């Protein structure tokens, strides 16, 4: 039996009446380039997800993994992602040919925050790029070049709720800047990173559900 629903949200105002609006910290956290915090995160990330869509709006999210730092930073506005051998279905690549819009999520094991990057993509086979993306002496068949339009850190709540990294010893030294430090730098906020980190920790404790 097909389910029917009586209370369907159809406007942003209906949504905002329930959810409310983002704080200034959230609205100012998005930058349009790769800064030092994004760079370190990308260099330490061994796993990403790639979201693309064809012209008809059919969506695909594809996982990509390699040794940490497999996504190369060509400039503060450009990334290169290797396309390794797979099942030849090529959903990501065929979507990019039709529609260049792309979304990335970078993950680091043990780090509860994630990095999100949105932009436009193209597929290249330039030898110098493929050489740069080589792994274990093997070049990828293609490189996905992403021109960065948005980059921002995403809070830890989804990772905390999922218990994704529960086997990781949280006493080990953190390998990247704290979320508070990144947000203060990205948004040029008039608050110390220590203060913001305390606010984030409190929010994680009291506002998970």
- Whether 172 has a pLDDT exceeding 80, the answer reads no
What digits encode the pLDDT tens for the residues 9-67? Answer: 999 999 999 999 999 999 999 999 999 999 999 999 999 999 999 999 999 999 999 99
What would you measure as the largest C-alpha separation in the chain, in angstroms? 58
Bridge partner list, 122: 145
In this structure, what token pair is assigned to residue 176? 């990247």
Q: Is 127 exposed, middle or buried (0-12, 13-18, 19+ CB in 10 A)?
A: exposed
For the chain, count helices (H), then strands (E): 8, 7
184-to-13, 176, 181, 195 alpha-carbon distances in Å: 29, 15, 5, 10
pLDDT tens profile 122-165: 999 999 999 999 999 999 999 999 999 999 999 999 999 999 99
CATH of 24-206, one of 2.60.120.10, 3.90.1280.10, 2.30.110.10, 2.40.50.100: 2.30.110.10
Say what angle helices 36-44 and 179-187 make with each other, to 10 degrees: 140
């Amino acid at each position: 039996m097909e389910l029917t629903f009586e209370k369907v949200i159809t406007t942003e105002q209906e949504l905002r009446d329930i959810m409310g609006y983002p704080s200034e910290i959230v609205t100012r956290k998005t930058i349009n380039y790769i800064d030092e915090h994004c760079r370190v995160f990308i260099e330490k990330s061994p796993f990403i997800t790639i979201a693309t869509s064809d012209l008809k709006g059919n969506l695909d999210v594809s996982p990509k993994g390699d040794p940490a730092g497999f996504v190369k930073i060509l400039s503060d506005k450009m990334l290169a992602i290797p396309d390794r051998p797979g099942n030849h279905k090529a959903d990501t690549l065929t979507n990019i040919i039709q529609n260049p819009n792309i979304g990335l999520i970078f993950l680091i094991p043990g780090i509860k925050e994630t990095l999100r990057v949105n932009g436009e993509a193209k597929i290249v086979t330039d030898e110098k790029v493929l050489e740069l993306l080589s792994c274990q002496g093997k070049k990828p068949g293609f490189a996905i070049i992403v021109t960065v339009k948005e980059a921002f850190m995403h809070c830890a709540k989804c990772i905390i709720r999922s218990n994704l990294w529960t086997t990781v010893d949280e006493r080990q030294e953190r390998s990247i800047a704290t979320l508070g430090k990144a947000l203060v730098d990205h948004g040029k906020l008039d608050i110390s990173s220590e203060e913001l980190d305390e606010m984030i920790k409190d929010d994680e404790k009291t506002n998970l559900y």
